[in-house]
Amino acid sequence: MGRLSTFGQHLYTGRVSFDFVGRRMVWYLVSAVLVLGSAAGLGVHGLERGIDFKGGVEFTAQVATADSSSVDDLREAAVDTGLDAASAPVVNTSGDSTIRLQTGALSQDETAQVVEALQSAGASEVSQNLVGPSWGAEVAKKAATGLIVFLVIVVLFIWAYFREWRMSVAAMVALAHDIVITVGIYAWSGFEVTPATVTGFLTILGYSLYDTVVVFDKVRENTRGILSSTTRIYSEQANLAVNQTLVRSINTSITALLPVGALLVVGVGVLGSGPLKDLALALFVGMAVGTYSSIFIATPIAAQLKERDPAVRAHTQKVLERRAKGLATAGAAASTTPARPVTSSGAAGRRQPQRSSRQQRRGR
Amino acid sequence: MAPPARGRKVKRPGRTLLLFLAGAVALFALIGLIDLEDGSGHGAWTPRLGLDLQGGTRITLQAESSDGDVTAANLDQARGIIDQRVNATGVSEAEVTTQGGNQIVIEIPGKERGDIVDQVGRTAQMQFRLVWQQQVQSTGQPLDEATAAAAQEAVEAVDWSALSVDQMIAGETQTTASLPAEYQAGITALQQEAQAFACTPDDLAVIDTADQPIVTCDPKTGEVMVLSPAVIGGSHVKGASAGVPQGSLQWVVDIELDGEGGDTFDTVTGSLTPTQGRFAVVLDGEVLTAPTSNAHITNGKAQISGSFTQKTAVELANQLKYGALPLTFEVNGVSVEGPTLAGSQLEAGLIAGAVGMVLVLLYGLFYYRGLGLVVLASLGVAAIITYGLVLLLGQAMGFTLTLPGIAGLIVAIGITADSFIVLFERIRDEVREGKSLRLAVEAGWTRARSTILAADAVSFLAALILFIFAIGVVRGFAFALGLTTLVDILVVFLFTKPLMSVLARTKFFGQGHRLSGLDAAHLGIEGRKVTETAASPGGRS
């Protein structure tokens, strides 16, 4: 643990620095590949829609032991009702003593008929969930409305809070990135999409932005008054911010993923498939992607957009020129500065901004 | 320990802590008070559980309007009707609520009653019709399929909507023989249907089309009738009320029609009264009442009298008032969950919550060592406050804890813990800058505060918007998430930060003890002490 802390200290001072901003093209490329892959997955496989999006009835039967023989018993019982919609039920076990059975659309009377059949085939308790054909569409429609309102408000909020439209844009790009990739993972893996999954997706929005706001706040702090600095440029300060919040990002991700992981494991262990699993899975995938994007996507984009600002660009040029001159006249300076980036920084061998602690400065 | 660095505004973290704890105690005292007051025996100390956690039936109906728009007022009226219908089925303790602008949710805790869906979800459309033929002597023997189909075809073959109100009135006062010749085949078919009509719930599920005549019955009396196409639509009913007029002992139902309806009613009663003719109010193909017209009503205000009891009068008045609603319902979902399934879902939620909490605490202790205790205390306090609020909101506004709600609370553990992490990292940054811990806490807090507020604001926005727009399972989740975000801010401001300030004065944390999580080695600051005067805890090598 001490090692991670030392690492944290080095990240903070800039002694160790990962060039998140400078190597943005690499991350963009990685993300572009992932996004394209996701789009392809969506195109090729589509999403596996749960019963809530198709309509039908799901019966959850409690049995003594859920094994292949009791599964067969219940399937047979359902088929023997002679109902068309129940002629090819999807049956699977879920936990030790629960069997789920899905049929097509049934009326209330027919549902009662199937329940009776299942009970006489050994089910002690039969819960039913009848879903109308338009329920899923309605859930999705409402979710989409909420999503649009949310995005508009958040764009305004971030713009107002950071006084910087570029950060709004960057946060939105990161958000879209998270959603697309999460959806892509669902398409490729064939995980079922249920209303609980949609809930998970929507929560990811909040989480992804939450994470981004924390990093942006540090960026803002580091770049305050940047234009009057003679030694630091915007991108480097932004990169320093990502590095300085890296330990927090790692810790946050771990603490966020731990309970979600617990939810996932317990959800599957105790209940088998069900809303708990769907929700936790969407969150787990989305949070992992969200952490990635706030580090690798959001800040680089914000920095890149900011560097296009004429004032910032002029300032950056000035500082770089001065730096080149300074290097020529005081070549020995480097040796007095201990904080050299471990990973050599990106384009043009830019130096990372350096901070040394007061003690170090005093000591040397 | 170094003498306290005066000069800055002296804060009283201890006092804030005490106030906060007093607030928490007050919260639980309030719940205790509610518990004592509460006579239902349910008690205020356990949260109200949703159907998925205690078992029961949930029916979700989607309202659709014939004119395209479902308004909030419309939906609330519909909720009232549905509530009444549910009560009429004999189901008690059902809760009927609206969601997402067009959904009506019926929740029946503890009972498996999916069977009532057909009764409660039926379309509410009311019409005033004329009684073309009354007291039909029905054999109750259903027509064979071919005859039934032929009869239906004969009825549908003519355009009934071409009939004027006067013609329809004549159909009653001068018998249906007075209708134009092209309608006679249809009339014969209707009479044929009427004779086969048994007044059973199955037969009553007739298709009620406003501009067509209908064969139906009054389920209260069993009287079978042939009724004209609608003369007045239910939407012309302005109001209806039940009461006992002065000087009378009998319950009556007063009904008021709007201008257009009143005009038609004027014509109808004017023609029917001389012959003591009847008209029928039909709701969804079922006769609500078929009174005899005793007076010529010119102002649209009529009174229906008969052998009403208070109950039947109020019921009819409500039906007349609300039956006019131009909404139809589609069954979106019927879920019936047995107690065993519900029990195991509750169990799974609680286990997941406990495991998640313990994992986060272990990680906190592992990484932050002594500071991990602060995480422990803060999360513990947050959990207790959240539980208190769940109890209180359950009592005050009927908030029920559902499985997605529990999931929301569990997910929130991470977001709450993150606030502490942001604070700790900022404090450690300040210590790295060379500040003493006491100053670092204050400086780190100033910076962490705005970050935490901004991030929590985004998180809260997400929850709020989800709650407003979402339907179904999403709402419980969003509510839990929003609630815990607020609790998070409360705890960080009033508990964690003051606690840090107090702890910074202790020897253990203030001097960077090896296990405090703030020692030089742990921060990775080589060869430097955390406070200037403390003995060296020994740098990492």
> What's residue B204's pLDDT?
63
At residue B291, φ and ψ (nearest 5 deg) are -75, 160
At residue A141, φ and ψ (nearest 5 deg) are -65, -45
DSSP-H helix ranges across B136-183: 145-157, 165-173
- Residue B385 banded pLDDT, cuts 50, 70, 90: very high
- Whether residue A108 and residue B118 make contact (CB cut-off 8 A), yes or no, is yes
Chain B partners within 8 Å of A210 (Cβ) = 415, 418, 455-456, 458-459
| Radius of gyration of chain A, Cα coordinates, nearest whole angstrom | 27
How is A140-203 classified by DSSP, letter by letter? Answer: HHHHHHHHHHHHHHHHHHHHHHHT-HHHHHHHHHHHHHHHHHHHHHHHHHTPEE-HHHHHHHHH
- Whether residue A138 and residue B357 make contact (CB cut-off 8 A), yes or no, is no
Question: Which of B 421-440 lie inside 8 A of A, CB atoms?
Answer: 421-422, 425, 428-429, 432-434
Question: Which of A 7-66 lie inside 8 A of B, CB atoms?
Answer: 7-10, 12-13, 60, 62
CA distance A17 to chain B (A): 15
B418 touches chain A (CB under 8 A): yes
Q: Which residue has the higher pLDDT, B155 or B424?
A: B424
- Residue among A18, A39, A27, A37 nearest A301 (CA): A27
- Whether residue A276 and residue B348 make contact (CB cut-off 8 A), yes or no, is yes
Tokens of B167: 């013609």
Is residue A282 a contact partner of residue A201, using CB atoms and an 8 Å limit? yes
- Residue A352 pLDDT > 70: no
Q: Measured between alpha carbons, how far is B286 from B486 in angstroms, rounded to an integer?
A: 52
Q: Measured between alpha carbons, how far is B114 from B93 in angstroms, rounded to an integer?
A: 15
Q: Which residue has the tokens 């498996």?
A: B112
Beta-strand runs (E) in B405-455: none
CA distance A196 to chain B (A): 7
Q: Measured between alpha carbons, how far is B71 from B68 in angstroms, rounded to an integer?
A: 10
3-class secondary structure per residue, chain A: CHHHHHHHHHHHHCCCCCCCCCCHHHHHHHHHHHHHHHHHHHHHCCCEECHHHHCEEEEEEECCCCCHHHHHHHHHHHHHCCCHHHCCCEEEECCCCEEEEEECCCCHHHHHHHHHHHHHCCCCEEEEEEECCCHHHHHHHHHHHHHHHHHHHHHHHHHHHHCCHHHHHHHHHHHHHHHHHHHHHHHHHCCEECHHHHHHHHHHHHHHHHHHHHHHHHHHHHHCCHHHCCCCCHHHHHHHHHHHCHHHHHHHHHHHHHHHHHHHHHHHHHHCCCHHHHHHHHHHHHHHHHHHHHHHHHHHHHHHHHHCCHHHHHHHHHHHHHHHHHHHHCCCHHHHCCCCCCCCCCHHHCCCCCCCCHHHHHHC
A254 touches chain B (CB under 8 A): yes
- Whether residue A271 and residue B528 make contact (CB cut-off 8 A), yes or no, is no
Q: Which residue has the higher pLDDT, A48 or B84?
A: A48
- Residue B521 banded pLDDT, cuts 50, 70, 90: low
CA distance B120 to chain A (A): 13
> What's residue B122's pLDDT?
65
How is A287-315 classified by DSSP, letter by letter? Answer: HHHHHHHIIIIIHHHHHHHHHTSHHHHHH
- Residue A33 banded pLDDT, cuts 50, 70, 90: very high
- Whether residue A206 and residue B477 make contact (CB cut-off 8 A), yes or no, is no
Q: Which residues pair with B289 in a beta bridge?
A: B281
**Section B293-316 average pLDDT:** 81
Chain B partners within 8 Å of A204 (Cβ) = none
| pLDDT single digits (tens) B354-375 | 898 899 888 888 888 788 888 8
At residue A98, φ and ψ (nearest 5 deg) are -130, 135
Question: What sign for the dihedral angle of Cα B214, B215, B220, B221?
Answer: positive
B401 touches chain A (CB under 8 A): no
> What's residue B206's pLDDT?
64
> What's residue A332's pLDDT?
46
Cα end-to-end distance, chain B, whole Å: 26
- Whether residue B525 and residue A359 make contact (CB cut-off 8 A), yes or no, is yes
Tokens of B470: 């979402």
- Residue A154 pLDDT > 50: yes
- Residue B534 pLDDT > 50: no
> What's residue A361's pLDDT?
44
Cα end-to-end distance, chain A, whole Å: 28
Q: Give the other-Cβ count within 10 Å of B67's Cβ.
A: 8
Is residue A18 a contact partner of residue A246, using CB atoms and an 8 Å limit? yes
- Residue B492 banded pLDDT, cuts 50, 70, 90: very high
pTM over 0.80: no
- Whether residue B349 and residue A276 make contact (CB cut-off 8 A), yes or no, is yes
Interface test with B, best of A128, A255, A278 (most B CBs within 10 A): A255
Percentage above 70 pLDDT, chain A: 86
- Residue B532 banded pLDDT, cuts 50, 70, 90: very low
DSSP symbol at B144: P
Of A12, A139, A263, Cβ closest to residue B352 = A263
Q: Measured between alpha carbons, how far is B159 from B137 in angstroms, rounded to an integer?
A: 27
B378 touches chain A (CB under 8 A): no
Chain B partners within 8 Å of A202 (Cβ) = 462, 466, 470, 474
Point out the least confidently predicted range of A4-13, A343-352, B106-115: A343-352
Instruction: Look at strands B279-283 and B286-289 and give their pairing.
Output: antiparallel
Q: Measured between alpha carbons, how far is B60 from B398 in angstroms, rounded to an integer?
A: 18
| pLDDT single digits (tens) B159-192 | 887 778 787 777 777 777 777 878 888 888 888 7
- Residue among A132, A176, A154 nearest A35 (CA): A176
At residue A359, φ and ψ (nearest 5 deg) are -60, -45
For A186, residues 6+ apart whose C-beta sits below 8 A from its C-beta are A47, A48, A193, A197, A282, A285
Of B363, B433, B456, Cβ closest to residue A258 = B363
- Please, what is the average pLDDT of chain B? 79
Chain B partners within 8 Å of A256 (Cβ) = 411, 414-415, 417-418
- Residue B487 pLDDT > 90: yes
For B372, residues 6+ apart whose C-beta sits below 8 A from its C-beta are B361, B364, B365, B366, B517
- Residue B322 banded pLDDT, cuts 50, 70, 90: low
Q: Give the other-Cβ count within 10 Å of B299's Cβ.
A: 10
> What's residue A334's pLDDT?
44
- Whether residue A271 and residue B348 make contact (CB cut-off 8 A), yes or no, is yes
- Residue B533 pLDDT > 60: no
At residue B96, φ and ψ (nearest 5 deg) are -115, 120
**Section A329-342 average pLDDT:** 45
Nearest-CA residue of chain B relative to A136?
A: B332
Point out the least confidently predicted range of A173-177, B104-108, B111-115, B430-434: B111-115
- Whether residue B352 and residue A276 make contact (CB cut-off 8 A), yes or no, is yes
Chain A partners within 8 Å of B473 (Cβ) = 195-196, 199, 275
Q: Measured between alpha carbons, how far is A145 from A135 in angstroms, rounded to an integer?
A: 15
DSSP symbol at A230: S
> What's residue B4's pLDDT?
46
CA distance B232 to chain A (A): 33
**Section A45-64 average pLDDT:** 82
- Residue A254 pLDDT > 90: no
Instruction: Look at strands A98-103 and A48-49 and give their pairing.
Output: unpaired
Interface test with B, best of A214, A250, A265, A364 (most B CBs within 10 A): A214
Chain A partners within 8 Å of B518 (Cβ) = none
- Residue among A244, A242, A231 nearest A10 (CA): A244
Chain A partners within 8 Å of B418 (Cβ) = 210, 214, 252, 255-256
A153 touches chain B (CB under 8 A): yes
- Whether residue B414 and residue A270 make contact (CB cut-off 8 A), yes or no, is no
Nearest-CA residue of chain B relative to A110?
A: B115
A262 touches chain B (CB under 8 A): yes
| pLDDT single digits (tens) A263-293 | 888 877 777 767 778 888 888 888 888 888 8
CA distance A275 to chain B (A): 8
Nearest-CA residue of chain B relative to A259?
A: B356
> What's residue B169's pLDDT?
78
CA distance A218 to chain B (A): 8
Nearest-CA residue of chain A relative to B474?
A: A199
- Residue B7 banded pLDDT, cuts 50, 70, 90: very low
> What's residue B539's pLDDT?
37
- Residue B3 banded pLDDT, cuts 50, 70, 90: very low
Pairs of CB atoms within 8 A across A/B = 284
Nearest-CA residue of chain A relative to B475?
A: A199
Interface test with B, best of A103, A210, A222 (most B CBs within 10 A): A210
Percentage above 70 pLDDT, chain B: 86
**Section B128-149 average pLDDT:** 78
> What's residue B519's pLDDT?
67
CA distance A329 to chain B (A): 30
- Whether residue B356 and residue A262 make contact (CB cut-off 8 A), yes or no, is yes
How is B198-252 classified by DSSP, letter by letter? Answer: --SHHHH-----TTS-EEEEETTTTEEEEEEEEEEEGGGEEEEEEE--TT--SEE
A144 touches chain B (CB under 8 A): no
| pLDDT single digits (tens) B225-242 | 888 888 888 778 888 888
Chain A partners within 8 Å of B114 (Cβ) = 108, 111-112, 128, 130
- Residue among B131, B159, B71, B501 nearest B279 (CA): B131
A213 touches chain B (CB under 8 A): yes
Type of residue at B173: T
Q: Rounded to 5 degrees, what angle do the CA atoms A312, A315, A320 make?
A: 125
B480 touches chain A (CB under 8 A): no
A357 touches chain B (CB under 8 A): yes
CA distance A24 to chain B (A): 25
| pLDDT single digits (tens) B251-294 | 888 888 888 888 888 888 888 888 888 888 887 777 888 888 88
**Section A326-346 average pLDDT:** 47
> What's residue A202's pLDDT?
77
Residues composing chain A: 364
